[in-house]
Structure 1
Amino acid sequence: MDHLAMTAPSRPPLRIGQHLTWLGVTPFALFALLFLILPTLKIVIASFRTPEGAFTLANIIRLATKSIIDATLLSLKLSVLTAFFGCAIGLLLAIAVTRGGLPGWFRSATLTFSGVASNFAGVPLAFAFIATLGRLGLVTVLLRDWFGINLTSLGFNLISFTGLAITYLYFQIPLMLLIITPALDGLKREWSEAAQTLGASNIQYWRLVALPVLWPALLGSFALLFANAFGAVATAMALTGSSLSIVPIMLFAQIRGDVLQNPHLGYALAFGMILITGLANLIYILLRVRAERWLK
């Protein structure tokens, strides 16, 4: 018995620190459960329910109506356009900040501003653009009085597809800068020096070395910016109201509107948006993992 007691494996001591770690992530887990997982499940279930609670596919079938298809195509056009220009302009800014030889304080200031601007949306952003580029906005009046350029006569209207796209770029470009900067930092200077040693020009280095390495990160960033624009509703609603029929505004009208109120059709619209944005985010995650593997 004494021999068995001596050879029996002792029970590992209780790790209090590990339990405290799990306790620390509990608020986040509750937040994700209450404000992400459960609402998503409610949307999915309600998409296949009638107002009386019976199962139906009518809500999903009604997504094929012309008005919803047109709104979806317009939202896709807006998302692709702003994601493309956001990626292109943000990439150029990121290259200038990381590899343009600018002072270190300028990079810090730019990244700090980008962190704020990428989260600046909704009613404040809409009001800022109306005060800047509206019919009586500051820039509009200055261009008219100082340079004789009348934006309205040229056909520009802030409350339009073009105006909304320009407004979206305000947070799309800084978001791209924040995403792509770590990838640019991962480009080893030895690669550039080796390319120069072999006689490659700067353009050849970016075309044959840097861009192929950055390609997964660029595609992933495009997917994330697409999802960001496709799901944005507050800015579009505050800027254009119901004058521009995109999916988020139509969703708002179906759930909270006085005339078009049909909550279960709204749930079906939200379910479609979840599928599209979820696919875009999945592409972003997969491409980001691939990009990080390349840059290690």
Structure 2
Amino acid sequence: MTSDTLVSAAPGSSVPVQRRSALRSAAWAWLGLAPFVVYLFVFLALPTVLALGSGFFDSDGEFTFENVAALTDPVILRTFWNSTWLSALTAVLGAVIGALVCYAMLTLRDENPVRVTVDAASGVFAQFGGVMLAFMWIATLGLNGMVTLFLKDVLGIDIFAGGPWIYELPGLILPYVFFQIPLMVITFMPALAALRPQWAEANLVLGGTSTSFWLRVGFPVLAPAFFASLLLLFANAFSSYATAAALASQGSQIVPLQIRTALTSETVLGRENLAGALALGMIIVIAIVMSAYSFVQRRAARWQS
């Protein structure tokens, strides 16, 4: 070893100067990450632990499994089922429509005005939720919404003849799809854009067609990225609260609203800690979905790299 690679920092020390410098750089890097770690602990980890822990105690602070056992109640199971099918339906609709939007933009250059507009709109609408989104749908398709009155007064079509479905569970489908589609565009477009032109050229040289390329190359290669995005959309819908709370102000048809009821109900007292058990159920479902997402994403990254 030369003196350039191994230099004693002090008499009797054999630690390389370069290694000590690297250790100091790593220490400063971790110090820069400290604010983010503190933020995660205070606003994510600690509330999660407190919420889960509360599910194992009653209102008097005594340890109990009563709250967790309540997860098998038919009403709670129906609530989880409602959240599951709503999330699955909106995830599938958002994934399919979003993938078609990505395919339509595939031939456009990055600086194309249409491509730029769609990318910017997707970034905005993917985060457009809560009270703002609920108000938009009420003003558009509510009982006295603009589209509702137009259909009724001009075309004679009453979309609420069967009842005010927009304020019930089916009324959450369209608002959820509204922010699922742009989220799919954001997550799936990089995978679609990463398809190599050489693969299409090789397919043509070998006598293949556009159909054979997508069936034998495109779809198999994109399948992991598509299903990873689908799982992400499911988790996004399953954990959504604000839009449902603003639209469905009455009842607790999905798990987030059931948690709200457990915390704020004035008729069912002494069951506040049931919210912790419901949160535990939600975390288990999300953990399973995100574990599957991580696995599929690793498979998709093999060819993307």
Fold similarity call, TM over 0.5 = yes
* Runs of 5+ consecutive residues of structure 1 not aligned to the other structure: none
Partner SS for 1:158: helix
Pair 1:295 & 2:304 matched: yes
Q: CA deviation at 1:276?
A: 0.5
Q: CA deviation at 1:48?
A: 1.5
The answer as to whether partners of 2:224 and 2:296 remain within 8 angstroms in 1 is: yes
The 1:148–1:54 alpha-carbon spacing in structure 2 relative to 1, beyond 3 Å, is same
Equivalent-residue separation in structure 1 for 2:274 and 2:13 (angstroms): 64
Pair 1:233 & 2:238 matched: no
Equivalent-residue separation in structure 1 for 2:164 and 2:266 (angstroms): 31
Amino acid at match of 2:282: M
Equivalent-residue separation in structure 2 for 1:14 and 1:94 (angstroms): 47
Q: CA deviation at 1:119?
A: 0.7
Q: CA deviation at 1:236?
A: 0.5
Among 16, 23, 35, the alignment partner of 2:43 is 35
Equivalent-residue separation in structure 2 for 1:127 and 1:265 (angstroms): 30
The 1:87–1:69 alpha-carbon spacing in structure 2 relative to 1, beyond 3 Å, is same
Amino acid at match of 2:166: L
Amino acid at match of 1:42: L
Q: For residue 3 of structure 2, what is the aligned residue in structure 1?
A: none
Among 11, 14, 23, the alignment partner of 1:9 is 14
Q: For residue 95 of structure 2, what is the aligned residue in structure 1?
A: 87
Among 106, 109, 121, the alignment partner of 2:114 is 106
Q: Which moved more, 1:33-42 or 1:241-250?
A: 241-250
The answer as to whether partners of 1:98 and 1:107 remain within 8 angstroms in 2 is: no
Over residues 40-79 of structure 1, what are the superposed CA-to-partner deviations in whole Å (9 max), with x where a residue is unaligned? 1112222222223332211111111111011111111101
Amino acid at match of 1:119: Q
The 1:46–1:156 alpha-carbon spacing in structure 2 relative to 1, beyond 3 Å, is closer
Q: For residue 148 of structure 2, what is the aligned residue in structure 1?
A: 140
Equivalent-residue separation in structure 2 for 1:48 and 1:204 (angstroms): 56
* Runs of 5+ consecutive residues of structure 2 not aligned to the other structure: 1-7
Q: CA deviation at 1:100?
A: 6.1
Q: CA deviation at 1:278?
A: 1.7
Pair 1:285 & 2:294 matched: yes
The 1:244–1:199 alpha-carbon spacing in structure 2 relative to 1, beyond 3 Å, is farther
Q: CA deviation at 1:7?
A: 7.7
Query: For this pair of structures, how many residues does the alignment match?
Result: 293
Amino acid at match of 1:263: E
Q: How does 1:209-224 map to 2 (within 5 A)?
A: 209-224=217-232
Q: CA deviation at 1:11?
A: 5.2
Partner SS for 1:54: coil
Partner SS for 2:273: helix
Pair 1:180 & 2:188 matched: yes
The answer as to whether partners of 2:68 and 2:277 remain within 8 angstroms in 1 is: yes
Equivalent-residue separation in structure 1 for 2:110 and 2:36 (angstroms): 39
Q: Flag the structure with higher helix content.
A: 1
Identity across matched positions, percent: 36
Q: CA deviation at 1:127?
A: 0.5
The answer as to whether partners of 1:160 and 1:244 remain within 8 angstroms in 2 is: no
Amino acid at match of 2:262: Q
Amino acid at match of 1:236: A
Equivalent-residue separation in structure 1 for 2:210 and 2:160 (angstroms): 42
The 1:42–1:205 alpha-carbon spacing in structure 2 relative to 1, beyond 3 Å, is same
Q: CA deviation at 1:139?
A: 1.9
Q: How does 1:189-208 map to 2 (within 5 A)?
A: 189-208=197-216
Partner SS for 2:165: coil
RMSD: 2.3
TM-score by length of 1: 0.91
